[in-house]
Amino acid sequence: MSQHYDDLETRAPAAREAALMAALPAQVAHAQQHAPAFARILAGVQAGDIHSRAALAQLPVTRKYELLATQHSHRASSPFGGFATQAFGARMPRVFASPGTIYEPEGTRPDYWRMARAIYAAGFRPGELIHNCFSYHFVPAGSMMETGAHALGCSVFPGGTGQTEQQVQAMAELQAAGYIGTPSFLKLILEKAEHLGVALPQMRKALVSGEAFPPSLRDWLQARGVTAYQCYATADLGLIAYETSAREGLVLDEGVIVEIVRPGTGDPVPEGEVGELVITTLNPDYPLIRFGTGDLSAVLPGTCPTGRTNLRIKGWMGRADQTTKVRGMFVHPGQVSEVVKRFPQAGKARLVVSGEMANDQMTMLVESTETAPGLAQLMAEAVREVTKLRADVQLVAPGSLPNDGKVIEDARSYA
């Protein structure tokens, strides 16, 4: 049996890009016509012109906190804030809730969240039983994985969360081929099995998500016979990327358009630079266009040794929302970008907040090849104009700032 879920995974990168860009204008038009929120956000946009990444990058980014605020303000007339194109009924069998509260619809298409691809890459095959320990209540994680498993041709035991002793019993008696859930809960189950003296010889694979999966825990599971792989997905978007047997980053899903932008902006960063993941989904029921996840990552060079040709990302590298309160006022990454854009001599920048409590100090480090007298002072004046706060500006050599996605660094002492 092929190690690839379908032929989409191995198509030529140019063919994939052409297909995605061909689908993009129709998705933008669909969102404008059937999702009232995007009719407002994309007002005046000619959908037919959005057929390249450069054109896509000109559209506004909608970040999670904005989606939440829109849902709250429009809840009386639309529970999804005008972002969904379907109403309650047969075409929306389930509705879920994420912290905030953000409500997400589930449509009727098989593998609605596109999780089968990640489940397959983790080693699961048709005809197997999967023990699913993601929650089935409120949040969509349990359903995301179950619908993907069904699309793959697997049966599912809906274990959910908690009750480790009963989980061990079901795994042993049903002889599930593998586990899906958080990695920490799998560790608890295996520890409980060891404590009870129950062998789980058939439990040999796992797909984990929802939290960090450090190499130390991966090795701990492997030492107990379980080979586990991770995936990156959200309740808003479904699958975004997944790990393969190569264990070299995460391969992007075939049903999303991924950009990495400078935090606080919609500006794509050079390949390899850390930035915020911004996703455009081709889901017609919930057509999120340039949705800012708030998560940091970076593109890996080259292609996956398994033969999958899609782009790879390094995985989750932190949060992009670096808004910081300084001297009683909020400073946003977008304000740093606004200052930089005023100076063509400026490259990457980082605002460092230092000092002790009640004695905040700001220093903006700016990469620049120009060291003309007065440039730093002009930038400092711009910082004050934009943020209403004083800052020193230091010009540094290009490439000297860390590639970690940080635009604002809080280096204060809170001892």
Are 231 and 242 within 8 A, CB to CB? yes
Are 168 and 196 within 8 A, CB to CB? yes
113-123 pLDDT, tens digit per residue, is: 999 999 999 99
Q: Is 137 exposed, middle or buried (0-12, 13-18, 19+ CB in 10 A)?
A: exposed
386-401 pLDDT, tens digit per residue, is: 998 899 999 999 999 9
324-410, what's its fold? GMP Synthetase; Chain A, domain 3 (3.30.300)
Q: Is the pLDDT of residue 326 over 90?
A: no
123-153 pLDDT, tens digit per residue, is: 999 999 999 999 999 999 999 999 999 999 9
Instruction: Give the pLDDT band of residue 414 (cuts 50, 70, 90).
Output: low
Residues 6+ apart with CB under 8 A from 95: 79, 88, 103, 104, 105, 106
| Dihedral over alpha carbons 395, 399, 405, 406 (to 10 degrees) | -30
Instruction: Give the pLDDT band of residue 333 (cuts 50, 70, 90).
Output: confident
Q: 7-319 — its CATH code?
A: 3.40.50.12780
Distance CA 244, CA 315 (A): 12
Residues 6+ apart with CB under 8 A from 289: 27, 28, 31, 38, 41, 42, 59, 62, 280
Q: What pLDDT score was predicted for residue 364?
A: 94
Domain definitions of the chain by residue range: 7-319, 324-410
The token pair that represents 213 in the structure block: 């999966």
Q: Is the pLDDT of residue 352 over 60?
A: yes
| Average pLDDT of every residue of the chain | 93
Domains 7-319 and 324-410 alike in fold: no
Instruction: Give the pLDDT band of residue 370 (cuts 50, 70, 90).
Output: confident
Mean pLDDT of 321-349: 86
Among residues 227, 226, 238, 229, the alpha carbon closest in space to that of 209 is found at 229
SS3 at position 403: coil
> Which amino acid belongs to residue 347?
G
